[in-house]
């Protein structure tokens, strides 16, 4: 929470700026592969391949193959990719309402655990909604992912602010705690209403 003066705002993307729905991914994959969705609900996990994909160590084709092997599911690479990009639900309304005023008062950036395929997708779909940010720091480009301390410290250094000067919002408690561990002020977004609660004081100040 905010205990010290804030000089910079850093937002997660999925769950804070853009609404996401992993169920859409699993449903699309199941339709393409002709299998029960439960295979994905029960078998998919944030595994080593997923983490390597998010730090740019492997590409989407290698990640898709790892999932095919893990889940014993076969489909063309194009189908894996099309389903992967079904994740998005669109910009979160309260964030879009507040961002213009927040960015007028504070340098505002984003830090997202993501991958090249998803980045290409959301930049194409929601470029206007993301145009408020001075910079998007994406895990596959900075070779570090939350909650690893390197992700936050690399970004603070790039932004030119000390960690304690940064307010960071994320929908993952693990990522919030990771940010706090290296000195950032952080807020946990459990529901969309929390975004307003955390950002409105910056607009009204």
Beta bridge partners of 18: 14, 91
| Stretch 5-25: mean pLDDT | 97
For residue 88, what is the enclosing H or E element?
strand 88-91
pLDDT at position 61 is: 98
Q: Return residue ranges of the chain for CATH 1.10.150.240.
A: 22-84
Beta bridge partners of 90: 19
* pLDDT tens per residue, range 159-180: 999 999 999 999 999 999 999 9
Return the closest-CA partner of residue 172 out of 150, 190, 195: 190
- How confident is residue 204, by pLDDT bands cut at 50, 70 and 90? confident
| Stretch 103-120: mean pLDDT | 97
| 19, 41, 146, 148 from 134: Cα distances, Å | 21, 36, 20, 23
pLDDT at position 1 is: 60
- How confident is residue 205, by pLDDT bands cut at 50, 70 and 90? low
Q: How far from the centroid of its chain's Cα atoms is residue 130's Cα?
A: 13
CATH of domain 8-20+90-204: 3.40.50.1000
| Stretch 117-146: mean pLDDT | 97
Fold of 22-84: DNA polymerase; domain 1 (1.10.150)
Please give the mean pLDDT across all residues of the chain: 96
């Amino acid at each position: 929470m905010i205990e010290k003066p804030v000089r910079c705002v850093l937002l997660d993307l999925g769950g804070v700026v853009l609404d996401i729905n992993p169920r859409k991914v699993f449903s699309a994959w199941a339709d393409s592969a002709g299998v029960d969705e439960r295979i994905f609900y029960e078998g998919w996990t944030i595994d080593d391949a997923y983490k390597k994909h998010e730090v740019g160590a492997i590409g989407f084709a290698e990640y898709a193959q790892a999932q095919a092997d893990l889940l014993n599911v076969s489909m063309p690479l194009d189908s894996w990719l099309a389903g992967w990009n079904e994740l998005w639900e669109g910009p979160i309304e309260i964030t879009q309402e507040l961002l213009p005023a927040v960015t007028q008062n504070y340098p505002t950036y984003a830090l997202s655990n993501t991958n090249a395929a998803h980045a290409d997708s959301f930049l194409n779909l929601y470029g206007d909604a993301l145009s408020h940010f001075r910079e998007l720091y994406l895990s596959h480009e900075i070779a570090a992912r939350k909650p690893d301390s390197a992700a936050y410290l690399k970004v603070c250094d790039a932004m030119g602010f000390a960690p304690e000067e940064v307010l960071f919002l994320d929908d993952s408690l693990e990522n919030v705690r990771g940010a706090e561990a290296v000195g950032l002020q952080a807020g946990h977004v459990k529901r969309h209403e929390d975004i307003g609660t955390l950002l409105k004081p910056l607009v009204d100040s």
